[in-house]
């Protein structure tokens, strides 16, 4: 990984940890700094409800059905990081590491990861991203960088 990529990842992690550790202050500042993003969250919150309803009513899902559903939520622009995390886990479990990596990249290329409410899941997605990067470095394969 290039030095600049490592620095960006470190700054992202630092920012997300700060959001967790100073939650109230982070939310207050983020509501000002990212007011447009907060407005989008309000407009897209129905997708989180769709996600929860889907899992409450479909306990024994087949992988492809679940993947299709999660991808459809992402394509609709969901702001819910749990959707990205779930899809990345499924892809990783099925040894589809390139797809899992792409899901993580998509989350961090979006704007919602910056919202303090998303910090915990964003950190888990960042961990998964870094793990996939290391896995591919061992295999000497290139993946699309996060930045």
pLDDT tens-place string over residues 47-77? 777 777 776 666 666 777 889 989 999 999 9
d(CA 85, CA 117): 15
Residue 9 domain flag? yes
Element (DSSP H or E) covering residue 35: helix 35-57
Identify the DSSP state of 112. Answer: G
Structural domain span for residue 106: 3-138
- Could you read off the pLDDT of 79-126 as tens digits, one per residue? 889 999 999 999 999 999 989 999 999 999 999 999 999 999 999 999
Residue 147 domain flag? no
Domains identified in the chain, total number: 1
Phi and psi at 141, nearest 5°, equal -115, 150
Residue 146 domain flag? no
* DSSP conformation letters of 16-28: HHHHHHTHHHHHH
Residue 40 domain flag? yes
How many residues are present in the chain?
147
Residue 144 domain flag? no
Residue 77 domain flag? yes
pTM of the complete model: 0.83
């Amino acid at each position: 990984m290039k030095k600049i990529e490592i620095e960006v990842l470190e700054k992202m992690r630092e920012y997300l940890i700060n959001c967790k550790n100073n939650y109230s202050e982070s939310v207050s500042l983020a509501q000002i700094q990212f007011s447009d993003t907060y407005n989008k969250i309000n407009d897209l919150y129905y997708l989180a409800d769709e996600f929860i309803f889907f899992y409450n009513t479909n306990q024994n899902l087949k992988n492809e059905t679940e993947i299709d559903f999660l991808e459809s939520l992402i394509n609709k622009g969901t702001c819910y990081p749990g959707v990205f995390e779930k899809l990345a886990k499924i892809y990783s479990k099925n040894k589809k590491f390139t797809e899992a990596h792409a899901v993580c990249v998509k989350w961090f290329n979006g704007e919602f990861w910056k919202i303090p409410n998303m910090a915990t899941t964003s950190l888990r997605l960042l961990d998964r991203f870094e793990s996939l990067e290391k896995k591919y470095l061992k295999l000497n394969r290139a993946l699309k960088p996060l930045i």
